[in-house]
């Protein structure tokens, strides 16, 4: 890990007002599933999951929950503290969309009674979609500094049962507010971007579950990291040693450890596995408990860092986002003096503790299977205790309360 210097003055006294994250919160599904249940079912050592891939439990949504209900619950926390003044854009990032046409964000807009003078769209590029939305939000605020953008990242990660991807499922939403002169994180201008057409993970329209070439996807992630890093450096990015913390997309937390070993080697300061794991551990707390949450995963790493460290003021965080298929990006932000007043560590712990643990049989009832079934008319039973629920489908229209 670096020397953790204060980068507060890096922009200089005459620099334009910073743009970045003002407030950030998460929500998740009603149930939690300990991976020991899966290990018992498959008669394998649970440490393959706890240690080998670095995951402990995964969130499972109730039948009356989905990306909309989780996204609305996370966004409600942001609105409660910040109000709606200035919000003229709502970006909803997901790769587990519930409609081929209508943005999931419009349902959230309705559930939260947001003002009508808002543009609302959905972004998609696998797990990268949330960082894509963040960059769009930064562009909107740079053009109109009086405006704010509400970004919601929400996903249910589902693979077929009895596949190697099964222990890396999960569900969560993170919502955050992007504005000028923010209190939590000032995002710096340098960006390293990367796109290559690879078939490492995909979900055809007729499937509830993703298809993945697991080992190939790990390699594709590494290639994208190296590509995005060099592009970042070529476009004004700071030296590796000037970055205090690293938040990676975490499909499983060991993926981030592998990535950090690769990046430190690329940057000429190689770390062995224990040192790389120790450097990233403060970013793992929520992802280990929630499982993969695709677009939300990188932001949960950032929230875990904020909630677990005593004083981060002035420290620089490097973010690496990877979306299979594949698009990636590396950029940095500096944590601001006002960040502590927005922390929600107790609220977040309460959300984790409120989940109802389930065993293997219940998990299988809740796993909807591979193929999308015709769903013109049906009702769900009340299960969730969350503020919003998915009630079912009426003549093909989804109903939320
Ligand atoms: N104790 C400790 N570690 C153990 C273990 C045990 N009892 N048994 C196995 N392990 C380790 C393995 O050595 C391996 O470590 P390594 O990666 O450092 O070599 C790790 O656990 C995983 O084991 P492996 O046999 O490689 O797992 P797998 O074939 O079931 O596949 C994934 C793992 C991640 C590829 C699979 O879960 C997957 O496809 N996930 C979805 C795709 C994904 O998330 N891709 C990431 C890029 S987006």
Each residue's pLDDT tens digit, 80-112 = 999 999 999 999 999 999 999 999 999 999 999
3 domain residue, yes or no: no
In the residue annotation, 95 being an active-site residue is answered as: yes
341 domain residue, yes or no: yes
Q: What is the mean pLDDT of the chain?
A: 95
pLDDT of residue 373: 75
13 domain residue, yes or no: no
Domains in the chain, number: 1
Catalytic residue among 7, 30, 109, 249: 249
275 domain residue, yes or no: yes
6 domain residue, yes or no: no
In the residue annotation, 395 being an active-site residue is answered as: no
pLDDT of residue 1: 43
Query: Domain of 213?
Result: 19-400
Ligand 1 midpoint to CA 326 (Å)? 21
Whether 397 shows a pLDDT value over 60: the answer reads yes
Scan for tokens 């995909």, then name that residue: 202
In angstroms, the CA 195 to CA 125 distance is 11
Neighbours of 13 (CB within 10 A): 5
Query: The pTM is what?
Result: 0.96
371 domain residue, yes or no: yes
pLDDT of residue 7: 67
1 domain residue, yes or no: no
In angstroms, the CA 6 to CA 26 distance is 28
273 domain residue, yes or no: yes
CATH label of the domain that carries residue 356? 3.40.47.10
Q: Is the beta carbon of 44 within 6 A of some atom in ligand 1?
A: no
Whether 13 shows a pLDDT value over 60: the answer reads no
Residue nearest to atom 13 of ligand 1 (CA): 52
Atom of ligand 1 nearest to the CA of 46: 7
């Amino acid at each position: 890990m670096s020397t953790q210097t204060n980068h507060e003055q890096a922009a200089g006294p005459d620099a334009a007002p910073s743009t970045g994250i003002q407030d950030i919160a998460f929500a998740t599904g009603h149930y939690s599933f300990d991976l020991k249940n899966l290990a018992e079912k498959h008669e394998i050592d649970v440490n393959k999951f706890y240690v080998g891939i670095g995951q402990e439990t995964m969130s499972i949504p109730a039948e009356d929950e989905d990306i909309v209900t989780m996204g609305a619950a996370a966004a409600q926390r942001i609105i409660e503290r910040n109000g709606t003044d200035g919000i003229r854009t709502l970006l909803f990032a997901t790769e587990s969309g519930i409609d081929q046409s209508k943005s999931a964000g419009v349902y959230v807009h309705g559930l939260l009674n947001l003002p009508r003078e808002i543009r609302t769209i959905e972004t998609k590029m696998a797990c990268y979609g949330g960082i894509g939305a963040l960059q769009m939000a930064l562009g909107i605020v740079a053009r109109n500094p009086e405006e704010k953008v509400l970004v919601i990242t929400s996903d249910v990660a589902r693979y077929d049962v009895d596949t190697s991807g099964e222990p890396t499922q999960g569900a969560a939403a993170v919502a955050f507010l992007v504005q000028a002169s923010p209190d939590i994180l000032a995002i710096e201008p340098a960006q390293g971007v990367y796109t290559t057409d690879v078939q490492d993970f995909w979900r055809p329209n007729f499937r509830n579950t993703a298809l993945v070439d697991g080992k190939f996807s790990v390699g594709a992630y590494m290639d994208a990291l190296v590509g995005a890093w060099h592009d970042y450096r070529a476009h004004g990015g700071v030296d590796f040693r000037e970055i205090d913390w690293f938040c990676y997309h975490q499909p499983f937390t060991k993926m981030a450890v592998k990535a950090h070993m690769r990046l430190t080697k690329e940057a000429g300061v190689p770390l062995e596995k224990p040192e790389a794991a120790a450097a990233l551990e403060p970013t793992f707390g929520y992802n280990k408990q929630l499982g993969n949450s695709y677009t939300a995963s990188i932001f949960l790493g950032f929230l875990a860092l904020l909630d677990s460290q005593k004083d981060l003021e002035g420290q620089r965080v490097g973010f690496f986002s990877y979306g299979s298929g594949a698009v990636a990006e590396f950029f940095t932000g500096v944590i601001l003096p006002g960040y502590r007043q927005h922390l929600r560590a107790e609220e977040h712990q309460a959300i984790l503790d409120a989940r109802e643990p389930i065993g293997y049989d219940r998990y299988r009832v809740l796993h909807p299977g591979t193929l999308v079934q015709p769903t013109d008319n049906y009702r769900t039973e009340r299960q969730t205790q969350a503020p919003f629920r998915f009630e079912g489908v009426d003549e093909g229209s989804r109903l939320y309360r």
